[in-house]
């Protein structure tokens, strides 16, 4: 699987750039919600959509639909903010809505931005400094998954790891229409990294994954599931996908 782990967009060493926290929260609507009268569900969806639009003015937010794709999630909120407390406040507000009373969080992943130790130099470029910022492009699809490296990866000399990662990313650069986002979860959550990839064509991501399978760095992948295929949506589109 493509490992945006440790690399691609960062600069070597510490950065003075502000860093951000990244949260992927997946929700499933409880079955009893579907038994409510249609007018009640319509009102709840309108209230929840208005709440999400208000939230878009406060934090970096993208809404995705997974209805018809995953059995364990109907929608996902990708939120980005420099304050960890923001995610607690967002959760409280979600569950304070009428629709929120029927939402179950099935998966939630936390990470933070940081420069890579494998790329860049003493004078990082603008792109390398951007490793501390999570900047969604707004492409049609987002592929999200947690990622772990095998422990032996960290015992390999740094220069060898750097060489493997650079070879790995040379393959990735053949797919300029696929945008990688890497968040570091060490000490913050169960996984080591959270990876997400934006693309307008799902098969581009599939082909990228296949091309990266033989890379030497891929041998040191420990775990990389579950994988979520998410469709970018307006709040109204994501909620309409829940049904009437």
Bond into 218 cis (ω within 30):
no
Report the alpha-carbon distance of residue 96 to residue 101 in Å, rounded: 7
What DSSP line would sit under the chain, residue for residue?
----TT-SS--SS---S---EEEEEEEEE-GGGGGS-HHHHHHHHHHHHHHHHHHHTTSEEEEEE-TTT-SS-SEEEEEEES-THHHHHHHHHHHHSTGGGGEEEEEEEEEE----SSS--SS--HHHHGGGS------SEEEEEEEEE-GGGGGS-HHHHHHHHHHHHHHHTT-TT-EEEEEE-TTTSSSSEEEEEEES-HHHHHHHHHHHTTSTGGGGEEE----EEEEEE-HHHHHHTT--
Catalytic residue among 145, 175, 184, 220: 145
The yes-or-no answer on residue 154 being catalytic is no
User: Alpha carbon of 89 to those of 81, 189, 202: distances in Å?
Assistant: 12, 18, 33
The residues assigned a catalytic role are 145
């Amino acid at each position: 699987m493509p490992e945006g782990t440790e690399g691609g967009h960062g600069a070597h060493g510490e950065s003075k750039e502000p860093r951000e926290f990244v949260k992927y929260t997946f929700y499933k609507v409880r079955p009893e919600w579907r038994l409510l009268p249609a007018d009640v569900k319509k009102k709840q969806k309108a209230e929840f959509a208005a709440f999400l639009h208000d939230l878009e003015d406060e934090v970096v937010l993208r809404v995705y639909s997974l209805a018809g794709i995953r059995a364990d999630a109907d929608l996902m909120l990708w939120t980005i903010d420099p304050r960890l407390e923001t995610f607690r406040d967002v959760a409280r507000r979600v569950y304070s809505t009428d629709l929120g009373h029927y939402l179950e969080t099935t998966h939630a992943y936390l990470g933070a931005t940081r420069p890579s130790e494998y790329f860049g130099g003493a004078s990082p470029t603008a792109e390398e400094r951007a490793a501390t910022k999570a900047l969604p492009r707004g492409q049609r699809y987002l592929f999200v998954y947690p990622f772990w490296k095998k422990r032996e990866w960290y015992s390999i000399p740094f220069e060898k790891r750097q060489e493997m990662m650079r070879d790995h990313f040379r393959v990735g650069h053949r797919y300029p229409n696929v945008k990688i986002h890497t968040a570091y979860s060490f000490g913050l959550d169960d996984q080591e990294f959270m990876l997400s990839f934006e693309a307008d064509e799902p098969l581009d991501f599939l082909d990228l994954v296949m091309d990266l399978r033989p890379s030497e760095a891929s041998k040191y992948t420990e775990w990389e599931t579950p994988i979520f295929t998410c469709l970018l949506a307006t709040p109204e589109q994501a909620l309409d996908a829940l049904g009437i």
